[in-house]
Amino acid sequence: MAAYLISDVTVKDAKAFETYRTRAAASIAQYGGRYLVRGGSIEALEGSWAPRTIIVVEFADLERARAWYRSAEYASALAVRDEALDRNLILVDGISAA
């Protein structure tokens, strides 16, 4: 069952963010992830949540997403994360097709 990584990002440093984004994207691809949402326009319909940038990545399942997050490949992106951005990040299990 698919799993989804949902990130609410605020960029702190544009140059560091580009480094983070490039490294993260390469590592996501290595683990079979694919972007479903990557910074499109946001329209708040209810509530007070006001994200600046939303990113949604789909992985084959929770284990694959966790393996990516703990990987050496993603660690190179994490090395610049704190300089590049502030974020909230969650991992959500999808629904079964049956």
Spatial CB neighbours of 56, under 8 Å, sequence gap ≥ 6? 4, 5, 6, 7, 35, 36, 37, 38
Model confidence at 98: pLDDT above 70? no
The pLDDT value recorded for residue 96 is: 75
Over residues 16-74, the pLDDT tens digits come to 999 999 999 999 999 999 999 998 999 999 999 999 999 999 999 999 999 999 999 99
Pick 3-93's CATH classification: 3.20.10.10, 3.30.70.100, 3.30.1490.20, 3.40.50.720: 3.30.70.100
Model confidence at 97: pLDDT above 90? no
